[in-house]
Each structure stands twice: as C-alpha cells, then as structure tokens.
Amino acid sequence: MKTINKYILGIALIGLAYSCTDLEEDLVGDLTSDFSVEGISTGGSGGGGDALTGVFNAVRNAGTANHGGYFSVQSVSSDEMAVTQKGGDWYDGGVWLDMHRHTFTPANGPVTGTWSQQYGSIGQVNNAITNGGLDANQMAQAKVVRAYLHWRLMDLYGNIVIADGSGSSSQSSRSAVFSWIEGELLSALGMGSSFDISKLSSSALGTNDVKYRINQYSALGILAKLYLNAEVYTGSNRYADAATAAGHIIDNGPYTLSDSSVSVPNLGKRPSVSTDPDNLVGYAAIFASNNENNPEIIWSVEYDEATAGGMNFHHMTLHYASQYTWNFEAQPWNGYVALEEFVNSYEAGDARKKANFISGPQLDYGGNALVDLASDSPTPEIVYSLSINELEPNGARTGGYRLGKFSFKQFARPDLDNDYPIVRLGDVHLVHAEATARAAGNWALALPEVNAIRARAGVSALSSITADQFLAERGREMFQEASRRTDLIRFGKWGDSWWEKTNSDSYRTIFPIPTEQLTANSNLQQNSGY
C-alpha cells in the first residue's frame, strides 16, 4: 500500500464494542491513537448469531487472515514470503524488513500489535464466559477458544500473562502456560487432569460437523498441535499423545480429504480467458470463496464480505492493476510476495503450486494484458516473475509470485468471503505422521500419510523420507496457513539463512515482549536477548 500505515489492528474496534477486565485493558494498552484498523469487523453471523457469536468473532479479530497481525508475523518472518519495499511503497518504518531479517525489536509495530490483538480477543471471550449465560457446551467451546488464543501468545512470546479473568497480572513461564492451556483443553474434552482419549464420552463438546464452532475433533486438533510442539515449549516431548489425538480425529471424525470428487464453481472465472477453470477441484476447493462446506475443514474462521470482514489477502499481495482482473471494488496494495526458493520446492505438476501462487503474465477481465501505468519501462505489461531483485529499497513492482491459495472472486469487496481453516484434515494427517515418526524415531512411518497428501496433489509417492523432506512437504501443503514459523522452529531451521536473511540469533525463536507492555505492567520481564 502506498501511504497508509497498515500494520494494525482490530483492537481499537474491539475496545469500542466489548468490555475487558482491568487486567486485559492493561495488557492491551492504549492503541486507539497509534494504529489503524485493517479490515477488522465485530459483526458476522458466527454460525447463527447465538451466545457464542462474540467468542468466534474474537478469533477473526485476532489477526487471523488480515495484514498486520498474527498471520503477518507468523508468515513474513518465515522462508515462505516477504513484504518487499518498492521505492516509497511498503517501507512502513522498516518493520517488514526487520520481520523478514529477524532484526525485530520490542518497539516493532506488528510485534506490538499482535500481542494486543490476542489479548483484546481474549478479553472478548472472557466477557462471554463471565456475562454470556453460557450452557455447559457453550462454556467448553469458549474455553477452547480462549486456550487457543493463549497458545498463539505462548508460541510467539514465550512467558506471558494468563488472562483467565482472575485479575492477575503476573507473568507465567512458558511451561506453566503450556500446562494451563493443556488443562483447559483437557477439561473441555472431559479428560480431567491428564490426557486420556477413552474419557471423551464425558466431554460437554459435541461431535457434529459445524465448521464455525468447536466440537471434540477441533479441540483435539488444537491439542494435537500443542503436543506436537511441547518439546519446544517445555523441554519434554509429547509426540505419542499428539499422534493419539490426531489419530482419533482421522479414525472417528466425519471428515475426508478434499480430493478430485470435491468441486465448487470458480467464482473468479473470466469468461474470455480460457485458462480460467470452470470449477476449483480438490486442494484448491478447500480455500475457495465458497469453501464453507468443504469436507476437509474441521474448524474454520468465518469470513464474509458484508458481515464478517477481516480477510484481505487480495489487497495484501496483488499489483494495483489486478483490480481489473477481478473487478475488485478497491485497488490492491502490491505488498506480499512468495520467495523463489520456497516456490521452487514444488515439483512440476504439483496441483498445490498452481493453486498457491499467481505467476506470469496478468490479464484483465476481458483477457487483455494488464499494464503498470506508473512504470517507465518500455514493456509495462505486468508479469509476475519468480525472482525478486531485492528486498529493499527498490524491490521490483512485479517481482515475486503472489499469494493465491485463498482464491479471489469477481467483484470482491475489500473483505473476502473465503473461510480460513484453523484445523483441517490434511494438516491433521501431517501432525499424525510427524508425531508418529518422532515418537518411534523412524521417519519412514510418516510415508503413508505423506504419500496420501502427495497423491491428492498429483505428484508421485516417495519411497523414503527424511526430517528435512518432511518439513518441505509440510511447507508445500501448509503455505499461507500461518504455521511455517512454528514448523521451522520445531525442526531447528529457524536460524538458517534464506533470501536476504542471514541473522540467526538463537533467542529470536520467540518475539520480544512489546516495550509498551513492559511500561504498562511492571510484572513483565523482557525475554532474554532483547
């Protein structure tokens, strides 16, 4: 985007619409004068407008699929993508350059804003828990959502405050936060104080397939991800428990992989462009504008252009002139780009590569070449190149493939309609495969599920696999789903060098506690190294 300061947030809107405890107000801080709202909404049908609407709106408001918060810090800090500075566009005080190069500081805007987003959303959930008159099932769902938001904070910042509504402002160790999150999830699942899959019948959570609500399978999916990363968080592994939780979903849930039998109309199709498919099939259908009933999705965040705003991937990534490809209501910002080495990790013919990236010559709705009217090049046609000339100060305006996984529809508004999966079966299979392999010390045990995922993508089966190959396969499958930073850390690759990034400070596996939060709460201590 050109002159707009984009990097935050929904917290100002949340503060207007919902009350928080004194603690949560301290944690959030006074952001209303410092940050702009980027596509955040407190509306939405939330699966029917029941007592839990505010709870599930909170996940959307926590930066799940918009520029500036959780999605951005998880993804731009990884080897998936970058926000390149294009002359006067996208410098934004250097915050995205620092994010990419791992030179971020406690004053970094996205780092600060993401902390505030999560705590503001937790305050929204706590309001429902305290004042919403929730029944046992609804209370269990709300506590799972609150635990999930705390998991984000723990994963990002390490030692945090547990905002459980008690009013305490003390900082807890990462391992203590892990135990609290685990306890909340186990309680909702009817397991008491220890993980025991046989006790699920005691859970207040149901088993019906309702995408915008928490059931036993989505809660188990969150728990499986928590256990998969337990060694990073606590020093002790829980791989066997992660495998058991994921395996129960696979064996008992009503979900199936979105394969060639799953097809939805391509709402972005241009009648005059023969290469635009009539339908989006299989993997591409999971992330389409009309993905609300996809059989692979276990829990998704609802987005709707009119009533549940907040997803703006089209604006984040596409060239300004791409407005005329999809007849968007507003002009895109030309920011986020995929990194060449990551794109090259896909094999030829991989259906995920076609679905995940927008590349090459760009055409308008009528099939005519798009041009960059601000370009002084003798060939101003817009062609997204695989390579990017530089991160800054003059990254090419058409350098880098663009993020296309969450497909765009014709006449889209500034907010998109695609729902955003938090737990889906493809991810659960990979969690199960990895946890099983790690528990046994044998990566060959991951092959059956990896090959099932590869078969869906139309690429050949592997005969053997290493940890590095598994990470690469997981990356190809999970691109743009805000998991890459966490995955790189778990595999010990976070400190590696990649394009325009050489910094490898070991302490940067967690972000700094924001300066303004240290000022607001004297109980907080900065993470080591910052």
The pLDDT tens digits of the residues spanning 335-372 come to 999 999 999 999 999 999 999 999 999 999 999 999 99
For residue 60 the two structure tokens come to 């959307």
Q: What pLDDT does residue 504 have?
A: 85
Which pLDDT band holds residue 379 (cuts at 50, 70, 90)? confident
What's this model's pTM, rounded to 2 decimal places? 0.93
**199-213 pLDDT per residue, tens:** 999 999 999 999 999
Could you give the CA distance from residue 4 to residue 433 in angstroms, rounded to a whole number?
43
Sign of CA dihedral 113, 114, 119, 124: positive
Could you give the CA distance from residue 68 to residue 204 in angstroms, rounded to a whole number?
35
Strands (E), 181-247: none
For residue 468 the two structure tokens come to 């590095």
For residue 329 the two structure tokens come to 């209501």
How many angstroms from the chain centroid is the CA of residue 171? 26
Residue 25 has pLDDT above 50, yes or no: no
Q: What percent of the chain has pLDDT over 90?
A: 89
Q: Check if the beta carbon of residue 119 is closer than 8 Å to that of residue 28.
A: yes
For residue 403 the two structure tokens come to 């993020």
Q: What pLDDT does residue 374 have?
A: 83
Task: Please give the helix or strand (H or E) that residue 361 lies within, else none.
Answer: strand 360-361
Sign of CA dihedral 75, 76, 79, 82: positive
Query: Secondary structure of 96-134 in the HEC alphabet?
Result: HHHHHHCCCCCCCHHHHHHHHHHHHHHHHHHHHHHHCCC
Q: Which of 364, 513, 501, 397 is nearest to 78 (CA)?
A: 501
Q: Which of 109, 110, 125, 108 is nearest to 14 (CA)?
A: 125
Task: Please give the helix or strand (H or E) that residue 518 lies within, else none.
Answer: helix 515-520
Q: What pLDDT does residue 378 have?
A: 81
Could you give the CA distance from residue 355 to residue 519 in angstroms, rounded to a whole number?
45
Greater confidence, 378 or 296? Answer: 296
For residue 291 the two structure tokens come to 């993905």
**473-503 pLDDT per residue, tens:** 999 999 999 999 999 999 999 999 999 999 8
Sign of CA dihedral 352, 357, 361, 365: positive
Residue 512 has pLDDT above 90, yes or no: yes
Determine the 3-state secondary structure of 81 from DSSP.
Answer: strand
Q: What pLDDT does residue 37 have?
A: 32
Average pLDDT over all residues of the chain: 92
**12-21 pLDDT per residue, tens:** 333 323 333 3
Residue type, 117: Q
Residue 80 has pLDDT above 70, yes or no: yes
Q: What pLDDT does residue 373 have?
A: 85
Residue 129 has pLDDT above 90, yes or no: yes
Q: Check if the beta carbon of residue 171 is closer than 8 Å to that of residue 523.
A: yes
**42-69 pLDDT per residue, tens:** 344 444 578 999 999 999 999 999 999 9
Return phi, psi of residue 360, to 5°: 70, -160
Adjacent-strand bridge partners of 385: 399
Instruction: Give the CA-trace dihedral at 233, 200, 431, 451, to 10 degrees.
Output: 170
Q: What is the DSSP letter of 347?
A: P
Could you give the CA distance from residue 28 to residue 431 in angstroms, rounded to a whole number?
33
Q: What pLDDT does residue 377 have?
A: 76
Determine the 3-state secondary structure of 188 from DSSP.
Answer: helix
Determine the 3-state secondary structure of 183 from DSSP.
Answer: helix
Domains of the chain with CATH codes: 137-530 (1.25.40.390)
Q: Which of 410, 435, 431, 412 is nearest to 422 (CA)?
A: 431
Q: What pLDDT does residue 40 have?
A: 38
Q: What is the DSSP letter of 167?
A: -
Cα distances (Å, whole numbers) of residue 401 to 337, 365, 404: 6, 20, 9
Residue 121 has pLDDT above 80, yes or no: yes
For residue 111 the two structure tokens come to 């780092």
Q: What percent of the chain has pLDDT over 70?
A: 91
